[in-house]
Structure 1
Amino acid sequence: MTSQPLAADPTVGTAHDPADGAPPPPGPGGRVRRRRGSVHGSPSTILTIAVLGAVAYFLLPLWWLAVASTKSNTGLFTSFGLWFADDFNLLQNIRDVFTFQNGIFLVWTRNTVFYAVVSAVGAAGLATAAGYAFAKLRFRGSTVLFAGILGAIMIPLTALAIPTYLLFARVGLTDTPWAIILPSLVSPFGVYLMRVYAAGAVPDSLLEAARVDGASEARIFFSIALRLLAPGFVTVLLFALVATWNNYFLPLIMLSSPEWYPLTVGLAQWQSTSQAGSGSQALFSMVITGSFVSIIPLIVAFLFLQRYWQSGLAAGGVKQ
């Protein structure tokens, strides 16, 4: 009796070639087995999509601000928000911003630059000195003082605005530039950041060698440590610059004279005038254009200072 050969089962004993474009063979229960290492749904893909979404989230308001600053007051309400209107009104808007109310916008810009630069340099300098002292010097009460600084980071600045106003009102410093500059010189986060940075950027052996050569602590700080701490100094400087430039609540309660207003409070006054109506609706375009102009110095400052961010680490370590 001759036996007939059994028909070969195409799903048994055959290797699936992923290059032929055919789907993988079904597994037990008829389910299709997926190959491992698939790109779809991988963590890298999800992370890339999340990063792109975050970039779009941050850049979209800037794009809207740039586009809206080119529109007239009518075009703001009659055209698509994320694209240009038929009339390109940027130059006229800038001219209106700088000439409205006898050029008060220039006064606000000068005040903002003065407040931000003086406060940023002072805050960065104090934070650098304090961070270096906490990291490299041993003195009584340093642990308690640093713990108090860490606790101050947790307190929101708005909670300190009213007590600061009452204190400055008692000594007669309200409605003066000192009411903005003095509170901005205190940067607990800057002290914490510089303390951590100084602990790793300034070698103890270098300090000991300078002390053996007879250098004083002040000379060691200004001649040696400050060069090594330059990238951290620039970092705190940028943080303080942006914080003071964008500060709104403190100037709002401290200042009452328009000639001392920064840009944030001045533009808010224009905005409130526009919302009040009575023929002042045209201020909407000037408020948006003024907001766009006000962020340009921050962008320039960041682009100018980032090279010190990048090169300072290597420059401070070899030029000794």
Structure 2
Amino acid sequence: MRAQRKAERMRERMENELPRSMKPKPVTKTVTVIILVFALVYFLFPIYWAIIASTKTPSQLTGSNGLWFAVPLDELPNAIASNYSILLGWTRDNFWRWVGNSLLYSGVSAIIGTIVSVMAGYATAKFKFRGKGITIGIIMGAMLMPAALLTIPQYAIFNTLHLDNTLLAIIIPCCVSPFGFFLGRVYAQSSVPDELLEAARIDGASEPRIFFTIVLRLLAPAMVTIFLFMFVATWNNFLLPLMMLSSENLYPVTLGLYGMVSLATFNDRGALMMGSLLGVLPVIILFLTLQRFWRAGLAAGSVKG
């Protein structure tokens, strides 16, 4: 059995091995590794620095080595607990409420927006109807408009409807994503075969059943990609909550930390870095959890057929 498994592994290795003409040169491999290592350091260094800075006092931030802790490792728990206590004090114990609000706004907006984007993208990719070209042109043209340009008109509309300073004032605008529609349409064109849809119709399946039982399964990786883009866009949205919300209990974490920093007496940058680090952890965890689906979704529309 051992010899058989070894032979199978050798066979798989030979099958997966590239021809000599297609193998990269040693110089190419070396340059590629160097570039990837540089990119890894470039993207991870800010997180590393935030972890270091979140354990320091204001005086330690300016008077100690910026790339290492200012206290011995055995005193780190006390330093972390001290900055955490200061953070909760400055935010009046609202910090985790703000994180929860961000999760609520981003999660609900991304879920609803993903479903709407996929439905609209599938409809414009696989159905013919009057005004289809004009509709696609208007939505694609909306991608060229800066989001900040729409904030004041959105505020005027929600204020007239008496929906400002509510959850809906953040969730409804963030549910609409022209970019999500564009991705949904591209993925539907490349990942949903027309032959499969025709076979389902011949078998008597209705259009809602085809969409919810067949199309959504084929577009699952694409939906994860759209969900992540919309989740991060809503999480990072600062101007819309700043215009719409006046109640501190409804603040997302970005606006809450901004309000804390805006206080004239605020000077605890270590506590601020801890708040920033804790505030970005949900996004990091989400990406690490869904990264394999995200990679598949990014590649789903890259090849035709």
Higher gyration radius (CA): 1
Give the Cα–Cα distance (whole angstroms) in 1 for the partners of residues 28 and 130 of structure 2: 50
Moved more, 159-168 or 216-225: 159-168
Give the Cα–Cα distance (whole angstroms) in 1 for the partners of residues 30 and 296 of structure 2: 32
Q: Equivalent residues in 2 for 1:26-65 (5 A)?
A: 49-65=34-50
Q: Equivalent residues in 2 for 1:97-112 (5 A)?
A: 97-98=87-88, 100-112=90-102
Q: Equivalent residues in 2 for 1:1-320 (5 A)?
A: 49-86=34-71, 88=76, 89-98=79-88, 100-273=90-263, 276-277=264-265, 280-282=266-268, 284-309=269-294
Give the Cα–Cα distance (whole angstroms) in 2 for the partners of residues 175 and 80 of structure 1: 43
Give the Cα–Cα distance (whole angstroms) in 2 for the partners of residues 309 and 43 of structure 1: 28
Give the Cα–Cα distance (whole angstroms) in 2 for the partners of residues 158 and 308 of structure 1: 31
> Could you tell me whether the CA contact under 8 Å between 2:51 and 2:277 is conserved in 1?
yes
SS at 1:67's partner residue? helix
Give the Cα–Cα distance (whole angstroms) in 2 for the partners of residues 310 and 248 of structure 1: 28
Give the Cα–Cα distance (whole angstroms) in 1 for the partners of residues 153 and 120 of structure 2: 24
Cα drift, residue 73 of structure 1: 2.6
Structure 2 unaligned residues grouped into runs of 5+: 1-24, 299-305
Cα drift, residue 74 of structure 1: 2.3
**How big is each residue's C-alpha offset from its partner over 1:175-200, in whole Å with a ceiling of 9 and x where there is no partner?**
11111000000010111011011111
> Could you tell me whether the CA contact under 8 Å between 2:114 and 2:180 is conserved in 1?
yes
Moved more, 257-266 or 94-103: 94-103
Partner amino acid, structure 2, of 1:95: S
Give the Cα–Cα distance (whole angstroms) in 2 for the partners of residues 296 and 120 of structure 1: 18
Partner amino acid, structure 2, of 1:182: I
More helix by share: 2
Give the Cα–Cα distance (whole angstroms) in 2 for the partners of residues 45 and 159 of structure 1: 46
Relative CO higher for 1 or 2, CA cutoff 8 Å, sep ≥ 6? 2
> Could you tell me whether the CA contact under 8 Å between 2:225 and 2:297 is conserved in 1?
no
Structure 1 unaligned residues grouped into runs of 5+: 1-37, 314-320
Give the Cα–Cα distance (whole angstroms) in 1 for the partners of residues 296 and 255 of structure 2: 37
Among all aligned residue pairs of Structure 1 and Structure 2, give the percentage whose two residues are the same amino acid: 45
User: What TM-score do you get using the length of structure 1 for normalisation?
Assistant: 0.78
Give the Cα–Cα distance (whole angstroms) in 1 for the partners of residues 171 and 276 of structure 2: 22
Give the Cα–Cα distance (whole angstroms) in 2 for the partners of residues 299 and 134 of structure 1: 33
Give the Cα–Cα distance (whole angstroms) in 2 for the partners of residues 308 and 52 of structure 1: 24
SS at 1:175's partner residue? coil
